[in-house]
Structure 1
Amino acid sequence: MDKWLLLFFLGAILSLFLPIVPALFYIVLLLSLAAALIFTKKLTYISGFLLGSAWILFNGFTYQHSFTANQLDKNNLHRSTHFIEGEILTLQNDELQKINKAILTTNHQYDPIKPQRFNIKITYFDYIKMSHPFVVRLNCKVSCLRIKQGFKVRLKVRLKPAHGFANKGAFNYQVWLRYKNIVATGYVVKSKSNNVIALEPSFRQKRYDQLMKILSTKTSSSSPLSSLVFALTLGERSNISVQQWQVLKATGTQHLIAISGLHLGLVASGMFVLALFILRYLPLSWFNTLQNSNYIQKGNLIYIAITLSLCITLYYAALAGFAIPTLRALVMLVFYWLARLLAIKLTLKRWLLLVVFWVLLTSPMSILSASFWLSFYAVSVIFLLLWRCFSIINSTKTSHKTIYKIITFFKALIILQLGLSVLLLPITLLFYQQFSVLAFAANVIAVPWMSFTAIPLSLLAVIVLPFSGSLASYILDLCLQFLAWLWQWLSFLAQQEWALQTLTNGQVLLAILLVFALFSYYFLRLKRQYYLYFLPIVGVILINAFATQNKWWQVTVLDVGHGLAVIIERAGHVIVYDTGANYPSGFNFADAAILPYLQQRNIKQIDKVIISHNDNDHLGGLAVLAQKIPISSIMFNEPNVIVEMGGGEHNNNVLNNNVFSNTQQQTCLQGQRFSWQGLTFEQLWPTLIQGDHNDDSCVIRISDGNTSILFTGDASKKVERQLLKMGLIEQTDVIIAPHHGSKSASSAKFLQTLQPQYAIFSSGYLNRWHMPVNKVLLTYHQQGIKTYNTADVGMVEIKFLDDVIKLSTYRNDHLNYWFAN
């Protein structure tokens, strides 16, 4: 059975490496073949592999055909507004009493509150009942209904199929949407028809509102940590600030505020011990009138304790909304307790494989999440360490039982935390390319501290909350105080500049090899000669990393929607051309795309930022970028321009001069040029600043003497004609298409003169301007130019070496798997 379960897991993993989901016919064929092989003795195990593959692919197929199953046209979804009805699935932050008053006693259902994001399960779409209800994620930008989790609402919305930006090193939103089974995203359109049709909040929302009412009155220095209480009790992490996330990330303690195995394990074991203690010392003579009092006294207390432990664990999981990480931990505990109750002998290996099998059956897309791999890998590592280090942990020589237990506890704690810090590196680096140097120092204190203070206190507060608000408030005060003391230690560690380290791809591979060699030596006891096989692999990695580092140069057009952000790189130095947009919600492409890419490349400084012109979709990320990474110089024709925010609205905040006090500022005017890392930057436009934003764009040609690339910003056909007239346009290998493919640019004569091989369009997915315009694309194709649109292929990477140009895209070459596209 173990082999069958293992092959099922292996089949599920390998199914992820296909570029597309096969047609339903082939998936059914796989399922049929798996069913047939179950009855053949020699090939029974192969059926597990086929079933695992078919199950994941079937769920991928149903996700991709969610609209087809409801007879909806996915391709035309974005072309018009729609009326939907459904149930709110996401906890909402507001006081329930104010909501009810606003909705029930007035005619004003809107309130100018900060933008809300929520998931909704749609049951009616354009007044037609859906045979297969589906989940979408909505954003309310201007004004929203005051809603709560569990409310049923009717809304007017605009939707797009699920999509995310595709850049190296950045958060993959599209994979996250698939993992959450969200098939579309969009926003609420203001309309009188928007209303709440059922006002009953969910169980979790009621607890959330009660907690919010109490915690909002706290004024102590520890009150900012209230957001962590919501995470520990309800699994709600949206209130955690950016600064708090940075501390958790730098110290490797994010897992402590995600309700998972540690939390449920503590609750289950704590409740089991407490119940057993109470039952053993309870005067059972009180229950002599009960027929089963003798049964209770005859050694069956353990079964009652297990049952109570399961009940309280289920309650905790319900508070967390049965989120996928919580469900994984719950399944582990249920399998363990059931084996104890039913006296089933279950090996550790089978227990883990059964849990993985059940999790993949009930939540197949959880295999896409980092938490899935980290949780199961961490559990495996813990048991391996306990097995391998058993003699060390129990080697204490003392006759005093209490001292023996204390020393054994601290030995186990140090060994487990040190082992986890090292052995979890491969998974951590593969997903994030970062690791916390201080993870051991943070967790060796934080894990036991949280286990004995904050976690049980926060859960106890929620349990007593419905019965006594004052008692719950007192317990929460204690919880916040314990969190505050721990937070001082974590904040101190996070302030160390070297706390969080980012590695390049080559360094990640070397680190993984090193950890694997260490694991092999300590756990597998391989002979020394086997380690010689690692040397050729290390040699290949080093040669690949450094052989051509100083020869080639590359241009990376990031996927930033309707905007532009390009990184020019050579020998570990970079220049950034434009910085993408910055929106009123706080979302910006400096944080979302540029900085993650630079971190992934281990770039610590930007030599120069060139801003083509002062539109938000080109300039917006500059201020954020300057605050978070040193910039040596800025080339921009309007250094004091007001930063444009989303929707064409202007913010009155001028670029902070303090940020740029040590930054050299230059202008981009025709006739100027400069050299950088052996490349020549020739400025072709403008001749002077005329206040015409698009046509003031900084047009630059970059050349290494053999190959070249042209940056045009949002320059129009008018500029193209002027450049042609001045004789400044010559053959160029690559062009960043002017104005995102607008019909106002890219004239046929301009392209005929340039004769580029490739043209890159940086545009938004299903954008309202329909860029790049079909007519413009036709013009490029008629010239024999290969075109790439970041909305379709994601980030575009162009490498230049002598006269060779190598172009690759994120979706087609770097992450060419069905679940990411």
Structure 2
Amino acid sequence: MDRFFSHLKQPFTSIWLCSGFVLGCFITVYTLNTAAFYIMSFAVILASLYFKPFLSVLSGFICGIFIVIFHYLIFYSASLCQIVIDKPIDAHLQIISIHSVASPYYAKVRLINVQGCSLPRFIAPLAMLSITTEKQLDVGSLLTSQVKLKAFRTVKNFDSFNRERFAFTERIIYKGRTVGKTHHLSSTSSAAIRSHYQSYISDITAGTKLQWMYYALLTGDRSKISSVDKTHLRELGLSHLLAISGLHIGLIFTLGFYTSKWVFMCTQVAIKQSMQLSKLFVVFGFCCAFLYVYLSDFVVSATRALVMLGCYLIIYLLAKNPLQWRSILFALSVVLVMNPFSLLNPGFYFSFTAVAIIFLVINQPLTIKNGLIKHSVQLFMIQGALFVGLLPLSLYFFDGVSVIGLLVNLIAVPLISLVVMPLLVMYSLLSMIVDTSYVFKLFDAVFYSSFEFIISTPHDWRWVDVRINGFKSLLYLYCTLLIGLFSPFKRFSIIPSFIFIIDWLLTPKPLFQLDLFDVGHGLMAMVSTNNKAIVYDLGPQYFARYDYVNSVLVANIRQQNLEVVATIISHQDNDHAGGLTSWKQAGYTATFEKFHPSGIKLPCLSQHFKFENLNITSLTADSNHDNNNDRSCILKISNPQHSVLLTGDISKFIEQQLVSQEVDLNATILISPHHGSNTSSSGLFIDAVNPEIVLHSSAYQGQWSFPHSDVVKRYNDRDIPQYTTAEYGHIRIKFYPQSYRLEFAREQESYWFE
């Protein structure tokens, strides 16, 4: 360690080593087993042969590769215990978090013992379980039960939240449910301490109007925040204030530092002149910050901030000067040693970029002598720089930006930092010895009035949906910012924009596009051209409350900047119309008029019309049929080169009827009737359609096992390629004048570890 930090005066070796390590981690996580990985590795090796400093970079680069692979093998792919999938097994569980308020509980658990095989806490896999129990379930509870597990897998779509990747970053390897009786055991001492602390904070803040905010600030647990309040915070750019991060850790450290200093000055203890009191105060402040993170159960963002603080303090104490930029690099290296897959977490990039921006601003000299004015100007500069510097990340990860966020943060950050957090800490400590709730409720009333004033901001001033497509766009934006702000050749900042425009102009534009979304057992599709779209079916609804309309369909519409001109409900079954309520709430009720002028409960209108450069034909083969499936709306989209046929859930009877009526069924792409059920896809119908490709919208390992093996065989006998959403996820087909291209979410949106 001393040898490592001996380079702080002439820091090139440690800097090169850490730089190579970070590069190795980044390249391995994102590009392992691809051409880019081997090209970059060869480039680093080649550079090290010609430039001596690059030997340290190469060493760090190799260490980065090793750490990523080691971490994956230990924590993700390998297990000390053989866990049987899809069969009841005995398990000893610890509750990590609870996501429902009543039995059956949906909870994140740690598998600490499986079939008598104990797993160390730090490598025990996590699982999302449905737990049936009569007793109250609490965070930290220990349970024994038989469980049925399977690998964590969910739907995968373009331009929407990647649940599988999020689960991977959280080390959630399995999902399943308990079977049989669940036995409750006592909680671990560590979990019990945190549970008692959370109960204590909940009790002393009970009855206040902003309890959810105080509870989140003091415990790191955001479960009490309602979806409405989460939306308010996101649109106002305040979400970061309730996620324990650098701001909160820094505040607790500062409070601990100055409290210890004040106590020492008040006690007037005699000390030796050689003692360095500042080190004692720093250690006490860090201990306070560590306790705060411990009580928050080492939330990822809090742990990352604590590591950054620790690195900064160690370097400061050893080198006798701040060394801000090196502390960021060393903290980055330590975080990646702890978990190189932190690179997949958006918060990772926001945290380190924000700290770099703050260091950059506070190092800018100010000639203002008045302390208050100087600090106010510096605060404004920091907030402005954070707004501009984090803007590309916000657009990339969240598809928008808070317009009023800059102004709101200028008020909220000092308010939280200088007033709310110190008062909350003081109140939580004083409440142990004296009742001060009446004073706190007075403070709550004042603070709530301020919060109400802020959220009364008109919606149009809060959030603007602006999105950038792909990592390349993000890279172009940051290159433009860096060259324009810090390069002596500021005129060259136009080069990234020029490259971006050339790239966009050279990219071929499709005539139209088909999106078949991955919604499990159900159907949701969209055809788009010239920024306008027709939606066919809205997928299933689960547990009478959850569907994929907002998280998948609306997300894709916004990402592609589309205007929906019409919506079709093929028939009323839940797996096709389950998202109807959410679709209406999203503001798309008027889009039913084109195909359902008499109401969506009636079959669609049979018609033929022109939609931009496409021909649209819709019909219902038998609107009086008793079978709801056979009343499905049939839709054909075509241009002179290509065509797509969507048939809902029609049976062989309707297929034969369509063929006998000599309906033009020929299509380039067929979305199989009834998800590939054996009640459909007759040989006669397949021959009439004569598709080049067949798509099946079905669930992975679903209870119906679609597509049926006989159906698959019928298409295979005719040498027709088949693709299922169960295997490939969201399927996107782009049609060009003489060709078409298929894109699969599970291929393009996945890395080597997924």
CA distance in 2, matches of 1:409, 1:164: 49
Residues 1:599 and 2:587 are matched in the alignment: no
Which consecutive unaligned segments of at least 5 residues does structure 2 have?
A: 1-13
Mapping for residues 774-785 of structure 1, pairs under 5 Å:
774-785=709-720
Matched residue, 1:125: 114
Asked whether 1:687 is paired with 2:626, we answer no
Counterpart residue number, 1:59: 71
User: Which residue among 300, 303, 309 is the counterpart of 1:324?
Assistant: 300
Quick one: which of 160, 182, 186 aligns to 1:194? 182
Contact conserved, 1:457 with 1:475, CA < 8 A, in 2? no
Look up the equivalent residue of 1:7 and give its one-letter code.
G
Q: Is the 8 A contact 1:91 1:205 kept in 2?
A: no
What corresponds to 1:416 in structure 2?
Answer: 382
Matched, 1:625 2:583: yes
Seen in structure 2, the aligned counterparts of structure 1 residues 452 and 735 have a Cα distance that, compared at 3 Å, is same
Q: Which residue of structure 1 aligns with residue 435 of structure 2?
A: 470
Correspondence for 1:459 among 425, 440, 458: 425
Residues in 2 aligned to 1:729 and 1:510: alpha-carbon distance in whole angstroms: 43
Q: Tell me, what secondary structure is at the counterpart of 1:624?
A: helix
Q: Assess, with a 3 A threshold, how the Cα gap between structure 1 residues 438 and 90 changes in structure 2: closer, same or farther.
A: same
CA apart distance, 1:702: 1.3
What corresponds to 1:497 in structure 2? 460
2:233 equivalent among 231, 238, 248: 248
After the TM superposition, which residues 144-543 of structure 1 pair with which residues of structure 2 at under 5 Å, given as runs? 145-189=135-179, 191=180, 193-199=181-187, 202-216=192-206, 218=207, 222=209, 225-284=210-269, 293-295=270-272, 300-342=276-318, 345=321, 347-387=323-363, 390-391=364-365, 394-397=366-369, 404-464=370-430, 467-468=432-433, 470-471=435-436, 473-474=437-438, 477=441, 480-481=444-445, 483-493=447-457, 495-505=458-468, 513=476, 516-528=479-491, 530-531=492-493, 533-534=495-496, 536-543=498-505
The one-letter amino acid of 1:264's match is I
1:3 maps to 2:16: yes
The Cα shift of 1:607 comes to 1.3
Q: 1:534 to 1:199 in 2, by over 3 A?
A: closer
- How much does 1:709 deviate? 0.8
Structure 1: tracts of 5 or more residues without a match? 95-112, 285-292, 398-403, 640-662
What is the aligned partner in structure 2 of residue 817 from structure 1? 751
Question: Separation in 2 of the partners of 1:717 and 1:81?
Answer: 40
* % identity of equivalent residues: 26
Q: Evaluate the alpha carbon distance shift between residue 636 and residue 698 of structure 1 in structure 2; reply closer, same or farther with a 3 A threshold.
A: farther
CA change 1:618–1:310 in 2 (3 A) is: same
Q: Secondary structure at the match of 1:818?
A: coil
**Which residue of the partner structure matches residue 571 of structure 1?**
530
| Number of positions where the alignment pairs a residue of Structure 1 with one of Structure 2 | 729
Q: Distance in 2 between matches of 1:664 and 1:482?
A: 50
Q: Which position in structure 2 is the counterpart of 1:290?
A: none
**One-letter amino acid of the counterpart of residue 582, structure 1:** Q
1:550-592 Cα shifts (integer Å, max 9, x gaps): x611111111111111111111111111112222373221122
Taking structure 1 as the reference length, the TM-score comes to 0.82
Q: Aligned residue for 1:610?
A: 568
How much is the aligned-residue C-alpha RMSD, in angstroms? 3.2
Indicate the larger mover: 688-697 or 234-243. 688-697
Asked whether the equivalents of residues 561 and 763 of structure 1 are also in contact (C-alpha less than 8 Å), the reply is yes
Please report the TM-score for the alignment, with normalisation by the length of structure 2.
0.89
Q: Is the 8 A contact 2:535 2:564 kept in 1?
A: yes
Distance, in Å, in 1 between the alignment partners of 2:119 and 2:275 is 54
Which secondary structure state, in structure 1, belongs to the residue aligned with residue 225 of structure 2? coil
| Match 1:740 to one of 671, 675, 684 | 675
User: Cα 1:479–1:615, aligned 2, differ >3 Å: closer, same or farther?
Assistant: farther
Distance 1:2 1:701, change over 3 A: same
What secondary structure sits across from 1:194 in the alignment? strand
Letter in 1 for 2:227: V
Post-superposition Cα deviations, 1:396-419, rounded to whole Å, max 9, x if no partner, equal 25xxxxxx1110111011101011
Deviation at 1:468, TM superposition (A): 4.0
Residue type at the aligned position of 2:578: G
Amino acid at match of 2:367: S
Cα distance change, pair 619–91 in 1 and its aligned pair in 2 (3 A): closer
State the one-letter code of the partner of 2:105: Q
Q: In structure 2, what is the Cα distance between the partners aligned to 1:5 and 1:475?
A: 50
CA contact (8 A) 2:17 2:60 kept: yes
Question: 1:759 is paired with a residue of what secondary structure?
Answer: strand
Displacement of 1:426: 2.0
Q: Could you give the per-residue CA deviations for residues 437-473 of structure 1, whole angstroms, max 9, x where no partner exists? A: 22211211111111112223333344455x24734x4
1:89 corresponds to 2:74: no
Give a deviation string over 1:67-105, Cα, whole Å, max 9, x none. Answer: 5x52335xxx23x444422211226888xxxxxxxxxxx
Distance 2:434 2:724 in 1: 57
